[in-house]
Structure 1
């Protein structure tokens, strides 16, 4: 794992680390999509180390809020970033050129049912991922707190 200039540990997955560096180093003018779908940088605290970590995630919108999906490609386990958000919901985001703090909250089943069709329209693989696992894939709302 590598750290950026601010000491944030960047994802150990090569393509994610490259994209995260491009996104951050360009000030949010490059690396802002994955296959044409919008993505953001999520900085979160590791639940064991307290170290800030960074990943790149596709996002949707619900009003002023951002929505991210803890799909992990349809795996039967939650992604590590999601487990960390459950422990500490205070996060930092970069969405294009804007950087700000937010609070993460997992959507209720009712709210997920309302937004899920739009997320699948944005990124159709989400439906495939849900079909591959018995796990109910969480959708997380990111609500701006400051910045």
Structure 2
């Protein structure tokens, strides 16, 4: 690796903006959602672009409500996201919260939905990872994933019973 933000892999050359830029983008996105009263910041996925949803979890240590805005794709009735932290190495807090308490809810452009989370494994993971590769910018997916020291979890959010 030539620097923390750049890795050369067989799949290509992955370049990420600096961490401060990624964190600022997250703050701006949340503010945009809040200031617009929820009218801006969420969207349904299309065949070429992922959607945006708000995930509501419970803090694994604090027990307090936590919210994160995440990209997702649809797989039948399931919503699928990647547990990455701006491609940083540590797992995102929302994923650690879901591992502790898999029940959660999501805000979508057309309303709230209760869900239960699990990490896709085996053939299911490979199939869903391949879906993300087909999206705009997905050609760099493997190169970006190679920046992490661990496999990026593919998280499936199924409708709660």
Range class of TM-score, shorter chain: 0.7 to 0.9
Residue 4 of structure 1 corresponds to which residue in structure 2?
Answer: none
Residue 13 of structure 2 corresponds to which residue in structure 1?
Answer: none
- SS at structure 1 position matched to 2:152: coil
TM superposition shift of 1:97: 2.7
Question: Between Structure 1 and Structure 2, how many residues are aligned?
Answer: 132
Cα distance in structure 2, aligned partners of 1:87 and 1:101:
16
Residue 63 of structure 2 corresponds to which residue in structure 1?
Answer: 50
1:20 aligns with 2:36: no
| Cα gap change, 1:144 to 1:119, in 2 (>3 Å) | same
Residue 8 of structure 1 corresponds to which residue in structure 2?
Answer: none
- Could you report, residue by residue, the CA deviation over 1:8-43 in whole angstroms, capped at 9, with x for unpaired residues? xxxxx554344235436656431125xx64210001
| Cα gap change, 1:132 to 1:15, in 2 (>3 Å) | closer
Residue 40 of structure 2 corresponds to which residue in structure 1?
Answer: 30
Query: How much is the aligned-residue C-alpha RMSD, in angstroms?
Result: 2.2
Cα distance in structure 1, aligned partners of 2:134 and 2:33:
24
Q: Unaligned regions of 5+ residues in structure 2, if any?
A: 1-22, 44-48
Q: Unaligned regions of 5+ residues in structure 1, if any?
A: 1-12
TM-score, normalization: structure 1? 0.77
- Could you report, residue by residue, the CA deviation over 1:64-122 in whole angstroms, capped at 9, with x for unpaired residues? 11001012233232111111110001111001131121111111122110111111222
Cα distance in structure 2, aligned partners of 1:30 and 1:65:
23
Residue 133 of structure 1 corresponds to which residue in structure 2?
Answer: 148
| Structure of greater Rg | 2
Cα distance in structure 1, aligned partners of 2:33 and 2:115:
19
TM-score, normalization: structure 2? 0.71
1:69 aligns with 2:79: no
